Amino acid sequence: MIFNSFDFAVFIPIVFFLYWYVTNTNLKAQNLLIVLASYVFYGWWDYRFLSLIAFSSIVDYSIGRTMFSTEKKSTRKLLLITSLVVNLGLLGFFKYYNFFVDNFESAFSFLGYKFEGYTLKIILPVGISFYTFQTLSYTIDVYRKKLEPTKDFVAFLAFVSFFPQLVAGPIERATNLLPQFFKKRSFSYESAVLGTRQILWGLFKKVVIADQCAIYVNSIFDNSADHGGVVLLLGAILFAFQIYGDFSGYSDIAIGVARLFGFKLMQNFAFPYFSRDIAEFWRRWHISLSTWFRDYLYIPLGGSRVGPYKKIRNTFIIFLVSGFWHGANWTFIIWGGLNALYFLPLLLSQNNRKNLDTVAENSVLPNVREIGQMLLTFGLTIIAWIFFRAENLSHAFSYLKNIFLKSNTLEITIPFTLYVFIFAFLLIEWIGRRDQFAIEHLDIKIGRPFRWAFYIILCFCIIGFVDNQQDFIYFQF
Amino acid sequence: MKRYLRDFLIISVITLVSCFLLSQKHYSDDFIIYKTIDTHYKKVAWNITLLNNRSDVLNGSTIFLGSSIVQGGINDSILSAAGIHAVNMGVPHNANELGLYFQKRVLAKSKPKKIVYLKGKIPYKGLHKLTPLLYTSSDLFSIGQTANLDYIHFVFKKVKLTFEYYFYLMDPHKPSKDQTSFLAQTHGHVNTNNIIQETTYNNILTQKGASVSDESFNLYLNGYLYQRENGNSKFAQQLKIWKRKLVELYFGINFMFNQDNQEKFIEMAIEDCKARKIDVQKLYIPILIDVGNNTGYKRSNFRPTSSDEGIDLIQLEELDFLKPLDFWEDRDHLNHKGSAEFTKAIVPLLQ
């Protein structure tokens, strides 16, 4: 089930009603309802893969309990390894098996040997990368004794499968989300309004910005050999807006829906395109994944408190793994590597934590220097996005080459309205850049009549464009 | 909670009422031409240009209305050469409200001799993709549309189109889409010369059709829902079948599939012709399966409908002459060569 569908529009009021009117007096019943709703939500796409989520949940619940009951270091380590092997094994099989077989075949053939592996017709379960990382955070935190394992199996199932963020994040830490299943939740008008506002903004980003950009991005990337440099550059810029609108829109909807049920999820995007350098961009883009890698991979490797050689090594590891997490394709790995190359000069010159505040923190507009920094950072991300979007490496390189070398041949007509929407979107995001999401404090900024008129205009836009529905890009990861 | 639900309800109601008001907007012919001329539906632009600039050719003509099967299947220049002055106004993906729309506009400007509708368009069809461009929400109601899922979808689409229309009116530099040669052509027969391959042909003739057929109204056999839901899991398919049965139980089948409304539109068109004493007929144009020997493929365009009663049906009994593969563009459409043969064959039936 996807958020911008008729099915979800029917599903959510039913669950909302049952949650606040039927099960509201009993926390356990509310948690059970969340589990059932989450399994229906996921099973709507393919019920067979529910067994994977259930299996992961059972394994990590049991490992967490067993780990807690022993102080023996070797046993605890063995249990952690078991959890890692099971979870990453499933992820590896469903997501990376064919990639490795194909690449082994190519490598052997390059060396003059013949290797015939068996590729399988594997369907990638939606959201497997997200919930795998979420359950791993639980086991790792229990191992590190940062978290006491739960005895409540239903609450644990609810934590793993919590439907708002199950298929595309934010990837929640057990330390943040799990305790919320044990607190009594009461309905809050302010929180529900905030949640609804965030859902509305997320839908706008997805339906109006991302899906409209997608039409032209798909056309340009699919026929990139026929287009000239200007059109190709435009295609890459539109893809930057598409992927941001798509993914941050999903996160906004997820966080908003969770708020409706009394949960607070972590912020996943913080206006990344207003970043002044790549390090700031990565503090603002897909925050839940970046911090996951930071806490569970980068810091255990030594982080940046090591010598220059290890710093470089750690940076490459984290970015390459992050790229590979996105998909079993060399394009994602190169995308990760490119970001590492962008990041390294900042790290080595100790400038990676220079821009910790918000751009133009105390003024309405940025100064010339900040504009230049933002444009440069945006430009660098666009080059990287080409690899992210391309079908394969040769497509990416030819796309990149043609931007600079090819003169216009095939034109594309992009409606004036799309530019208007993108401009309005950027303007609103700029105004709200200090908040959790662009229209978070709309109630403070404008009075009720204008605020409601704004909501209605957003609804019009969403209603008008909902016809052109595209899948969320991050479902494939 | 009450306050939240109240606010939510107020905003929803204001939004829906405003949507309905925006959906009352009529668009100019210029805008309709602008929206369709560069698309698969450029025939709509041609029809409107003909109505505005050369409506005299419609007087005393036989007008053909229907889907792409008509658009590509009836060669009106051959008919005119054979002494039957004809205009092909078929438009891809026909739904009956589009036929009715063009009929109304034709009859407002001219007096044709005869109007011929395509027999057997698949009845589950909702509203045409272009209906929001041609009708307002109250116009659609006035021709018999009921409030159902298709209508809600229609209203939503009108909202976007209305905003787009205002942008169009404000834009002083409207992009020019020069299609004058297409718009100036005198006949409305449009198709391509693609020819299907033997492999595809054999595949179609041995195809068994959809496997899911347990719905009470048997829609899966038409392949429409089957195609749409084929990627879903069996569980999700089954849930959707139950959901449809539940909705059907309370709201009736017309709430979901617009079938009865589609019949109403064509019945209204027929009545209007009869009231004006204009001859009206239905014509069956074969699809590939009609000339093959496959019984497994369930799709058939020839379906009895209530609007068949009381009007003549033009139908060829013998279709063997259409068997050659190079007469077909795909499994539902004759190509240029095939339509020439078919048109010649129906000349005696039209006289």
Q: Which of A286, A326, A395, A441 is catalytic?
A: A326
Range of the domain at B9: 2-191+259-286+302-350
The predicted structure's pLDDT at residue A407:
74
B238 inside domain = no
The predicted structure's pLDDT at residue B205:
67
Instruction: Quickly count: other Cβ atoms within 10 Å of residue A361's Cβ.
Output: 8
CATH number at residue B275: 3.40.50.1110
DSSP element (H, E) containing B62? strand B62-65
How many contacts does A have with B, using Cβ atoms within 8 A?
64
| Separation CA A476–CA A167 (nearest Å) | 9
- Which chain B residues touch A459 with a CB distance below 8 Å? 11, 15
Q: Which of B157, B159, B167 sits opposite A460 (nearest CB)?
A: B159
The predicted structure's pLDDT at residue B247:
67
Q: At A196, which amino acid appears? A: T
CB contact under 8 A, B22 and A459: no
pLDDT (tens digit per residue) in B124-171: 567 888 899 999 999 998 888 888 878 888 888 888 889 889 888 887
| Separation CA A257–CA A164 (nearest Å) | 6
Would you call B230 an interface residue with chain A, using a CB distance cutoff of 8 Å? no
The predicted structure's pLDDT at residue B217:
37
Cβ contacts of A183 within 8 Å, gap of 6 or more: none
B124 inside domain = yes
B116–chain A nearest CA distance, Å? 33
Taking each helix axis as running N to C, give the angle between helix A153-161 and helix A128-143, from 0 to 180 degrees, rounded to the nearest 10. Answer: 140
**A326: annotated active-site residue:** yes
| Separation CA A50–CA A42 (nearest Å) | 7
pLDDT (tens digit per residue) in A180-206: 999 998 899 999 999 999 999 999 999
- Which chain B residues touch A45 with a CB distance below 8 Å? 233, 236
Stretch 7-46 of chain B: residues touching chain A, C-beta under 8 Å: 7-8, 10-11, 14-15, 18-19, 22
Enumerate the β-bridge partners of residue B324.
none
CB contact under 8 A, A459 and B11: yes
SS3 B223: coil
The predicted structure's pLDDT at residue A119:
66
- Sheet containing strand B312-314, strands side by side: B86-88, B62-65, B114-118, B279-283, B312-314
- Which chain A residues touch B239 with a CB distance below 8 Å? 44
Enumerate the β-bridge partners of residue B312.
B281
CB contact burial A189-206 (16+ within 10 A = b; e otherwise): eebbbbbbbbbbbbbbbb
| Tokens, residue A301 | 């490797």
| Tokens, residue B27 | 């668009």
The predicted structure's pLDDT at residue B344:
92
Picking from B48, B83, B46, B45, the residue whose alpha carbon sits closest to that of residue B62 is B83
The predicted structure's pLDDT at residue B112:
93
Q: Identify the closest residue of chain A to B229 by CA–CA distance.
A: A45
A405–chain B nearest CA distance, Å? 28
Question: Average pLDDT of A331-355?
Answer: 90
Instruction: Quickly count: other Cβ atoms within 10 Å of residue B220's Cβ.
Output: 21
Output the DSSP codes for B85-154.
-EEE---SS--HHHHHHHHHHHHHH---SEEEEETT--TT--S-TTHHHH--HHHHHHTT--SSHHHHHH
B199 inside domain = no
Q: Which of A7, A194, A460 to mutate to test the interface with B (most CBs of B within 10 A)?
A: A460
The predicted structure's pLDDT at residue B213:
34
Enumerate the β-bridge partners of residue B117.
B65, B282
B215 inside domain = no
A224–chain B nearest CA distance, Å? 21
Please report the sign of the dihedral spanned by the C-alpha atoms of residue A12, residue A16, residue A22, residue A24: positive
Reported as a pLDDT band with limits 50, 70 and 90, residue B11 is very high
Q: Per mean pLDDT, which of A49-53, A308-312, A319-323 is the most reliable?
A: A319-323
Number of domains into which chain B is organized: 1
CB contact under 8 A, A48 and B233: yes
| Separation CA A470–CA B261 (nearest Å) | 30
Length of chain A: 477
CB contact burial A125-156 (16+ within 10 A = b; e otherwise): bbbbbbbbbbbbbbbbbbbeeebebbebebbb
B118 inside domain = yes
- Which chain A residues touch B14 with a CB distance below 8 Å? 452, 456
B232 inside domain = no
| Tokens, residue A131 | 């919930």
Give the strand pairing for B86-88 and B279-283. Answer: unpaired
Question: Average pLDDT of A357-375?
Answer: 91
B38 inside domain = yes
Phi/psi of residue A170, nearest 5 degrees: -60, 145
ipTM for the assembly: 0.78
